[in-house]
Chains A and B, each alone.
Chain A
């Protein structure tokens, strides 16, 4: 298991932090959001439910939109558009 962060298209990024527990997912997400440009979309893949609540708050506070959430059997795939 290793964290991966890559550009998947124009203005599209993917951060995979599956297998990681707090505080890794939210800290990697914060770094990724700082890295991408305004209007870019980050697809975030994680499997630590607790991190989700903190990431929600982080997005709310920074004004970033969570445009899609797929959640099943402890796997979370969220798409976040940077403000």
Chain B
């Protein structure tokens, strides 16, 4: 096979290197922006950790074409396990680093409440990402490649979430009376009017009544080294990863491997070699998985160390001490997970814009009590998302893969509708494929596997619907004998 990449015959030096110059320019802008922020207040180091981990995630995501939507979608659409394998490698590595972080006492992880909402949210989210062409993080890195469809997806996820968490009116009639009764017992501040608004009722009257815990916590061993290593890391993460890898090999890779290797009566060693071949067949994806797993764990550790250094529990305290009071929640907090997270900060972007348009967004538990609505220039996790876009752009430009992609009516419709499904699903499940799956299963919280189950189911249905659309479109347009 001949590969000709990045060579323009007969063109000048500038033409040959224009893309790399843009790449270096973005990197320089991030460096200068970081120095500028530190010159204003050295405590912005806390926010810059999010920025630079975001840039690192963006580089790795673009390098490995790492998109968790593809992990599910490509299995059903084209029978390719590449990304599912990459995702499992990342889960395995993240869980190992997370165990070290937890044992060192710097973990900022909080388990999700376990309930039906996770499965339903995963189903809706998984259905949506088939149409958007990318998961929450995937849409960010693809935006960094110049894909404006992905920018539409980000807008759609942002505003749909902001609308969901402040939803009310006629939707309140779908909330069981028991939710309102339970919500009233929570002693919430009056300004939140907790019995008005479907999502507030859902949160205070249903989710808060559920329990969330790591596997080790459930078994009363959350504090012990054995409990963390054996139950959280091995049983909750590594064992399922191994089972899923074997299943992917058996159902998607074994036949092709045996054909290529000419084995007709494979031994156990041959099967192991086949699993290894599957894991390494897409080198870039596997390397990205390893890198993302390690950096995601390190991110949690660095944030934990900084929180101890500054004596804070949440970035809102630091913002307040720095004189930035606007946009803080009633509790004086802002969204600050301390690890890789995507959809909540996007909801804040949408909510902040709507708030500026005069819509009261702080009359909600999501913004008013928990996450606040900080100015996007002071939104630390928001900068992680921007960092992902910039990191992906840096690498895409350096590899000469950046290209502006203008949406058509079809792709824009899919981006917006798919983004709405993703936004609704993410809020019901209290997170996306990162916050509700990747960060949970790696930290001992079994709820993430339920989200994955929902995501797989939704992805399967999404692929069926998408395939029908493609077939209908080709039949309608004619002239294309495919």
Given contacts A4-B480, A21-B411, A47-B403, contact A69 B5 (CB under 8 A): yes
B182 within 8 A of A: no
Given contacts A52-B65, A71-B6, contact A26 B77 (CB under 8 A): yes
A49 within 8 A of B: yes
Asked if residues B411 and A20 are in contact (CB atoms below 8 Å), the reply is yes
Given contacts A63-B256, A70-B4, A71-B4, contact A23 B405 (CB under 8 A): no
Which residues between 32 and 83 of chain A lie within 8 Å of chain B, taking CB atoms? 32, 35, 47-50, 52-54, 56-58, 60-63, 65-75
Chain A neighbourhood of B6, CB < 8 A: 71-72
Asked if residues B78 and A54 are in contact (CB atoms below 8 Å), the reply is yes
B104 within 8 A of A: no
Distance between Cα atoms of A31 and B482 in the complex (Å): 7
B282 within 8 A of A: yes
Given contacts A26-B77, A72-B6, A72-B400, contact A62 B146 (CB under 8 A): no
**Distance between A61 CB and nearest chain B CB, rounded to angstroms:** 4
Chain A neighbourhood of B41, CB < 8 A: none
Query: Beta-carbon contacts of B404-415 to A below 8 Å, as 1s and 0s?
Result: 011010010000
Asked if residues A1 and B70 are in contact (CB atoms below 8 Å), the reply is no
Which of B79-87, B206-214, B305-313, B441-449 forms contacts with chain A? B79-87
A2 within 8 A of B: yes
Query: Beta-carbon contacts of B142-175 to A below 8 Å, as 1s and 0s?
Result: 1001110110000000000000000000000000
B253 within 8 A of A: yes
Chain A neighbourhood of B282, CB < 8 A: 53, 56-57
Asked if residues B19 and A53 are in contact (CB atoms below 8 Å), the reply is no
Q: Count chain A residues whose beta carbon lies closer than 8 angstroms to a beta carbon of B.
A: 45
Contact of A50 among B70, B130, B259 (CB under 8 A): B70
Distance between Cα atoms of A58 and B19 in the complex (Å): 30
Chain A neighbourhood of B466, CB < 8 A: 23, 27
Given contacts A70-B4, A72-B6, contact A49 B396 (CB under 8 A): yes
Contact of A72 among B8, B130, B147, B470 (CB under 8 A): B8
Asked if residues A23 and B74 are in contact (CB atoms below 8 Å), the reply is yes
**Distance between B465 CB and nearest chain A CB, rounded to angstroms:** 12
Chain B neighbourhood of A50, CB < 8 A: 65, 67, 70, 134, 138, 142, 145
Chain B neighbourhood of A68, CB < 8 A: 1-2
Asked if residues B82 and A54 are in contact (CB atoms below 8 Å), the reply is yes
Distance between Cα atoms of A24 and B466 in the complex (Å): 9
Chain B neighbourhood of A65, CB < 8 A: 1
Q: Which residue of A lies closest to B260 (CB)?
A: A63
B133 within 8 A of A: yes
* Pairs A-B, 6 closest by C-beta atoms: A74-B403, A22-B133, A53-B65, A57-B82, A71-B5, A21-B133
Chain B residues within 8 Å of A, Cβ to Cβ: 1-8, 19, 62, 64-65, 67, 69-70, 73-74, 77-83, 130, 133-134, 138, 142, 145-147, 149-150, 252-253, 256, 259-260, 281-282, 284-285, 396, 400-403, 405-406, 408, 411, 463, 466-467, 470, 477, 480-482
